[in-house]
């Protein structure tokens, strides 16, 4: 399995680890990417969640039938990307086809990746945030619930929509908004911000 490799896109900036949980706090669907023994793969996951602030941790459900799970188990590392509206079709595609039966899955869905120095899992172009994770093995959870826990060791975001520790979707083009999966190809798109509290209504 190969994917087109590109240089790090413009606008990608590191996110401090103490702010990494905010990349998932609004509940976006993610892309899970992993690499092992010369194979790379990407799948979609709606069941991904922040688990802790610092060191930041995440959970993600990886079904036993997925090829990506085997790469995560084999390598002990994975990345989560937060896809934008611009790659909604890709997100549905890599979540529908399995590399187990569609060997050219990544090329078929136009997946283009870049790499972060010192980290094997590829990062998917068109996402607006990326979290590089080290698997914290919890074999019972993995076996019984397909639930994987990762410690976030590095994070990045597209500065057009996430900067100074906050999302700024309202000030960016709509195609950069993140996605929330329902079922059957239907997504909701991240909506308007509502500030509640001292500075809000």
- Judged by DSSP in three states, 42 sits in strand
Q: Which residues have CB under 8 Å from 186's CB, separation 6+?
A: none
Q: Which of residues 180-199 bind ligand FMN (CB under 6 A)?
A: 181
- Look up tokens 């990326």; give the residue: 130
Site size toward ligand FMN (CB under 6 A) is 23
What are the Cα distances from residue 20, in Å, to 77, 153, 155? 17, 10, 6
Among 98, 119, 160, 172, binds ligand FMN (CB under 6 A): 98
- At 14, give phi and psi (nearest 5°): -65, 150
The verdict on 81 binding ligand FMN (CB under 6 A) reads: no
Binding to ligand FMN (CB under 6 A): which residues in 101-140? 105
Q: How far is the CB of 65 from ligand FMN (least distance, A)?
A: 6
Whole-angstrom distance, CA of residue 151 vs CA of residue 57: 4
CB of 106 to ligand FMN, least distance (A): 9
Considering only CA atoms, give the Rg of the chain.
Answer: 16
Pick from 22, 36, 57, 67 the residue near ligand FMN by CB under 6 A. Answer: 67
Would you state the structure tokens that stand for residue 95, as one six-digit string?
Answer: 């979540």
Among residue numbers 11 through 40, which ones bind ligand FMN (CB under 6 A)? 29
Nearest distance, CB of residue 14 and ligand FMN, angstroms: 26
Please state the closest distance from residue 44 (CB atom) to ligand FMN, in A.
Answer: 4
Under rule CB under 6 A, residue 178 binds ligand FMN: no
């Amino acid at each position: 399995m190969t994917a087109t490799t590109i240089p790090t896109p413009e606008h990608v900036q590191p996110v401090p680890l103490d702010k990494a949980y905010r990349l998932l706090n609004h509940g976006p669907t993610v892309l899970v990417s992993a690499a092992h023994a010369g194979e790379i793969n990407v799948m979609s996951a709606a069941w991904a969640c922040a688990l802790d602030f610092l060191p930041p941790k995440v959970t993600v459900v990886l079904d036993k039938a997925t090829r990506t799970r085997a790469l995560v188990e084999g390598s002990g590392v994975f990345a989560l990307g937060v896809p934008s509206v611009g790659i909604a079709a890709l997100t549905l595609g890599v979540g529908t086809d399995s590399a187990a039966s569609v060997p050219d899955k990544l090329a078929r869905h136009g997946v283009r990746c870049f790499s972060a120095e010192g980290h094997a899992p590829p990062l998917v172009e068109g996402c607006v945030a990326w979290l590089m994770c080290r698997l914290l093995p919890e074999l019972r959870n993995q076996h019984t619930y397909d639930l994987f826990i990762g410690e976030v060791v590095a994070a990045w975001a597209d500065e057009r929509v996430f900067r100074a520790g906050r999302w700024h979707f309202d000030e960016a083009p709509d195609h950069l908004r993140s996605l929330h999966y329902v079922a059957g190809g239907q997504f909701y798109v991240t909506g308007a911000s509502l500030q509640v509290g001292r500075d809000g209504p």
